[in-house]
Structure 1
Amino acid sequence: MPITINRPTIEEYPDYYQEYMNLLPEGDILYILEKQAADLRYMFRKISDERAEEAYAEGKWTMKEVLQHLIDSDRIFGYRALCISRGEEAALPGWDEGKYVYNSLANIRPLESLLDEYELTRRSNMAMFRSFTFEMMNNRGVANGREISLRGLIHVMAAHELHHMHILQTRYLKRK
């Protein structure tokens, strides 16, 4: 049964996500999340593996590494959403995104493989999100030492991706 997931109040997510949340348009969050998957695939449509292994500056992630970060983030946000929806009371750990990207070896993978994994991960999360009830959206949990509602987490997931898509568009793709 499809539900509407209302936009969270500022008290439903950590304040350090506010910059990301400011990027998020109004509208159906599930539609936004689905559109992101299509937009990301379209963004990478003409990028070669070699080009995707370039960074816009010394010490910055490559496009493949950014994509791997989005995959890792989807998995982690999805796991957190599962835990919170099920009433988990234990605090969920944070994660070192730089270490995850470094250890992923994203640059030795074909770009198409990363895009396929991203789409599968997003589709899996979308199926789970659609199974949630309106009542579950008010569930709260602790992730990375901060309280967050299920509704807040789903919106933060989309907002985080918008942030990185903006970086890809402005710092990587506008370069050449």
Structure 2
Amino acid sequence: MAGKPKQGDYAPHFEAYIGLAAEGDLKGQLLQQERDTIEVFAKLSDEQGEFRYAADKWSLKEVLGHMTDTERVMTYRLLRIARGDTTPLPGFDENLFVANTDFGRRTITELLEEFRAVRAATLALLGGVTAEELERSGTVSGNRITAHALAYVAAGHALHHLNIVRDRYLPGLA
């Protein structure tokens, strides 16, 4: 996969996520993120998975569930656009997703298994698309975006939340 997508290939609100992903081997980054995510979350007890660093923030289990849900949404969009589907795609409300799912009833192990499965599907999808397919563009939330940019959004989004877990959640558990 070529380097980072260029501005104009995605909406400005995705800049922060794309900026977090390193230039270069995106698949390698996704594999390393998977290892890092498992390393961080596997050490947590299910009780610790309920921890929130502030009353109005998601629990650690909800963060992990959100990371998985968002990767699914981004790669679904990537698939549609890479396959040439130009149907405008809607946005999604991540707060609605979390509010309507009881991630707390699940174990950290179950949530990690789901994350791994989705990440494996992401890697398989990226392994099967061509450079030409990645450059195809579509519309998401009224904005132009390429399949290539969506791959970087998925990687950067996961890293964003992993950084928040390390910086804001884990110190509160110490």
Q: What TM-score results when the alignment is normalised by the length of structure 2?
A: 0.96
Point out where structure 1 has 5 or more consecutive residues left out of the alignment: none
Aligned to 1:32: 29
CA RMSD of aligned residues (A): 1.0
Shift of 1:27: 2.1
CA deviation after TM superposition for structure 1 residue 6, in Å? 2.5
> How far is the alpha carbon of 1:122 from its aligned partner?
0.8
Q: Spell out, residue by residue over 1:10-62, the C-alpha distance to the aligned partner (whole angstroms, 9 max, x if none).
A: 11111011122222222211111111111100011211000011110011000
From 66, 80, 90, give the equivalent of 1:69. Answer: 66
In 1, Cα distance between equivalents of 2:15 and 2:78:
19
Equivalent residue for 1:120? Answer: 117
Alignment of 1:21-170 (within 5 A): 21-170=18-167
Contact preservation (8 Å) 2:2, 2:24: no
What is the TM-score normalised by the length of structure 1?
A: 0.95
Secondary structure, aligned partner of 2:8? helix
Counterpart in the other structure of 1:10? 7
* Cα deviations by residue, 1:75-125 (Å, 9 ceiling, x for unpaired): 101110110011111111111100101111001111100000000011011
Q: Structure 2: 5+ residue runs without aligned partners?
A: none
Distance 2:21 2:152 in 1: 8
CA shift digits 1:109-144 (9 cap, x unpaired): 111000000000110111011100111121001112
Number of residue equivalences: 173
SS of residue in 2 equivalent to 1:34: helix
Q: Do the aligned partners of 2:82 and 2:129 also contact (CA within 8 Å) in 1?
A: yes
Aligned counterparts of 1:67 and 1:45: Cα–Cα separation in 2: 11
